[in-house]
Amino acid sequence: MSIPTGGPAIRPDVTDATAGDAPAARVFLDAGGRAPLLPEARAAFVEALDQGWADPRRLHSEGRRARMLLDGAREAIAAVVGARTEEVDLAPSHVAALHGAVRTVARGRRRAGSGIVVGAVERAAVLNAAQFVAGEARVVVPVDAQGRVDLDGFRSAVAAPGVAVAALQHANGEVGTLQPVDEVHDAARAAGVPLLVDAGSSLGHVAVGPSWDLLAGDAGDWGGPGGIGLLVTRRGVRRSPDGPEDEDRWFPGGVSVPAALAAAVALQVSEQRRTTEAASLAALVDGIRARVAADVPDVDVVGDPQLRLPHVVTFSCLYVDGEALVTALDAEGFAVGSGSACTSSALEPSHVLAAMGVLTHGNVRLALPPGTTEAGVDAFLSALPRLVAGVRSALGVQGL
């Protein structure tokens, strides 16, 4: 069975982030890694609960039906990313996909060496796996103030002897900056080093292209359900499993079949409307960048203003407690993210903001879901200066 590429009719109004019957509609601007579930994905999920509930590893009819749905999902994803079906593996999360990719390729290529080259603003899963596997032999390539990796530094690091694998994200999901993956992939190929490209924030939003040897993605980010990560491995990349024996060698235990099917449908839908959505969201983000810089005193709007993801923007407000600001925005109907340490249980602030040398406190991170309206963004931009001033006033920082 394959997934109909036409899919159900797309109704752009259905996912309007600011639509709603309630008088005080929520404006959801925190879609990074967990976007609102697309209605088409929801329908596919519900249908697959009936058709594909069985264990796809069983040989009976019920199991084989689940297997067909799972293989259909992989086939559909393969078509979108430009790969063969057998190159597509599904993981129980984006984190598991990234961590597994680094571990298994490093293990498969241990004769080539133990070195791992990563960008400084990769996801924690990549940085952690590289540390876990390579220890002292992990090379972290720094980024500039925009969050873009030092290209010459990356080139020379992959060309050094003894590198097993290199990892560079397609774009940074926190600040939106696109990375030079084409150039880095050329350098990695010349050195015979496989390149893992984390497209967790890019798939379904921008064209990802063919410059990768392993490609990771996150279904929750492109409007599919949470709990499905993607890892595509080009034929010829050596890897070696390090988990228990299982029919799924790379992600033992497998994934939920209904979630896999819904993830594939969501990727098809978001890919189909990517170009029009991107133009509209990029314009909204341009407006946000300009108005935040103009209307909020002492603010750092960070990330590359042009070479960026269409839907992501982040800024840091001096002397502002990030947790207080996120809470105040939420109380007025705006859902936003933050990379400030005080907004999480972690003591450390966002390693991305830290590596860029920008303020880590008072941070607000926006990832606009498809269908975000100008009215919703306007309401946010009208409320923001007042709420920032309120938090600052509570801290008594006027005149500093």
Partner 1 sequence: MSDPVVVDARGLRCPAPVIRLARAARAASAGTRITVLATDPAAVHDVPAWARMRGHAMVSSTAEDGEYALTVEVAETDEGPVP
Nearest to partner 1 of 62, 144 (CB atom): 144
Smallest distance from partner 1 to CB 397, Å: 6
Neighbours of 380 (CB within 10 A): 25
Residue-wise DSSP of 70-95: HHHHHHHHHHHHT--GGGEEEESSHH
Nearest to partner 1 of 272, 344 (CB atom): 344
Nearest to partner 1 of 130, 320 (CB atom): 320
Nearest to partner 1 of 219, 391 (CB atom): 391
Q: Give the angle 5-87-128 at the CA atoms, nearest 5°.
A: 115
Contact by Cβ (8 Å): 173, 33: yes
Smallest distance from partner 1 to CB 316, Å: 8
Distance separating alpha carbons of residues 192 and 310, to the nearest angstrom = 32
Smallest distance from partner 1 to CB 116, Å: 24
Contacts of residue 396, Cβ cutoff 8 Å, sequence gap at least 6: none
Smallest distance from partner 1 to CB 294, Å: 13
Nearest to partner 1 of 126, 358 (CB atom): 358
Nearest to partner 1 of 208, 317 (CB atom): 317
Interface positions with partner 1 (CB under 8 A) = 297-298, 300, 316, 318-322, 340-342, 347-349, 353-354, 357-362, 395, 397, 399-400
Quick check: helix, strand or coil at residue 136? helix
Smallest distance from partner 1 to CB 289, Å: 17
Smallest distance from partner 1 to CB 355, Å: 9
Nearest to partner 1 of 132, 319 (CB atom): 319
4, with CB counted inside 10 A (0-12, 13-18, 19+), is: exposed
Contact by Cβ (8 Å): 312, 285: yes
Contacts of residue 250, Cβ cutoff 8 Å, sequence gap at least 6: 89, 91, 100, 104, 231, 239, 241, 243
Distance separating alpha carbons of residues 31 and 326, to the nearest angstrom = 15
Residue type, 156: S
